[in-house]
Amino acid sequence: MATKPNRTPIPSCLVIGGCGFLGSAIVKSLLEKHPSCRITAADIRLVNQLADPKINYVTVDITDLASITSVVENAKPEVVIHTASPVHGLGKEIYMKVNVEGTRNVIKACQEVGVKVIVYTSSAGVVYDGSPLINTDETEPFPIVPYDAYNDSKAIAEVLALEANGEKGMLTTALRPAGIFGPGDRQVVPGFITVAKNGQTRWQLGNNTNMFDFTYIDNLAIAHILAASTLLHQHASTGATDPSVDQRSHLDGTSLFITNGQPVYFWDFAKAIWCHYGVYNAGSIVMPRGIGLIIAGLAEGFSKLMGREPGLTRFRVTYSCAHRYFDIRKAKDLLEYEPEVSLSEGLRRTIEWFKAEEAKAKA
């Protein structure tokens, strides 16, 4: 059992990707948890800015070493939280450029300026190869053949971040979230809402025996802050480099799975969303996974010929039939991480936000 973690207040923090879905949530949590922290939020596009004079918003392109170095030099943060990443579903080239080369640039800039701590946002998908992940912990190796370009790039970037641990006095860690959702989500919940609005909820892919992990955005934001403050304390302590100290109690150089700690049957999660839209008889027609893959393959081929995006893909079939949930005991031990917002409450807040946005659009 790891010892109880000690934490240090965060005096200054640069959040890379600070205007994004996760980054903006981290900025908000920093304001609440560390009100004296000097915050710099950097992103390639300055959107979703919080109206608070404590936050300095700056433009950055992490694929340009000079750009990120200039931002780090001007901010002079003790902590850098690196969340910037393209969304899932794009091409390999953009992932390698942003996630891999961009992360390499972030590390170089931080080392040059003398940053003490980097917390890197990885992904639970880095260990996924299409096989079931059942209560998987951090001993699970990366797959020999990556499942897709996104997770491949996140795995490479995670390795870069962790290999930088201890170099030039800097401590690093990587957090691996699964199924991030919440207000502002553009990846997980919107797809389910679209299915409800299109009247497609009667179809269910697979028999719904597969359990899946999701992570509410505010819980994930707090996990990043816990990691940063824990590493700061370790950086200041002599135990950080003392070989006589039990290394299992150290966060630096490690990766942690972060979820809500409430695995749920995949389609139960979808149905919980649909209930908020008045749909209570979902999943009456069950399509076996094998048939779904065949139909999806045909849909992809037809859509390619027609020059449009397919509504059903083999990735979506595999994803919605996958067993993917994780053991978060390491995060609980090293961070004292406990999800503050339950899955049901997180969904309630998320749907409330989406409905408010829909009302604004109609006004």
| Residue 211 near residue 325 (C-beta atoms within 8 A) | yes
Residue 259 C-alpha from the chain's centroid: 10
* Residue corresponding to tokens 């892919």: 205
Q: Which two tokens stand for residue 248?
A: 């299992």
Single out the residue of 180, 194, 153, 163 nearest to residue 279, CA to CA: 194
| Residue 125 near residue 99 (C-beta atoms within 8 A) | no
Output the CA angle 69-73-77, nearest 5 degrees: 110
Distance CA 225, CA 14 (A): 12
Q: DSSP assignment of 171-237, as one string?
A: EEEEEEE-SEESTT-SSSHHHHHHHHHTT-TTEEES-S--EE--EEHHHHHHHHHHHHHHHHHHHHS
Active site residues: 150
Which amino acid, one-letter code, is at 178? A
As to burial, measured by CB atoms within 10 angstroms (0-12 exposed, 13-18 middle, 19+ buried), residue 226 is: buried
Beta bridge pairs of residue 254: 173
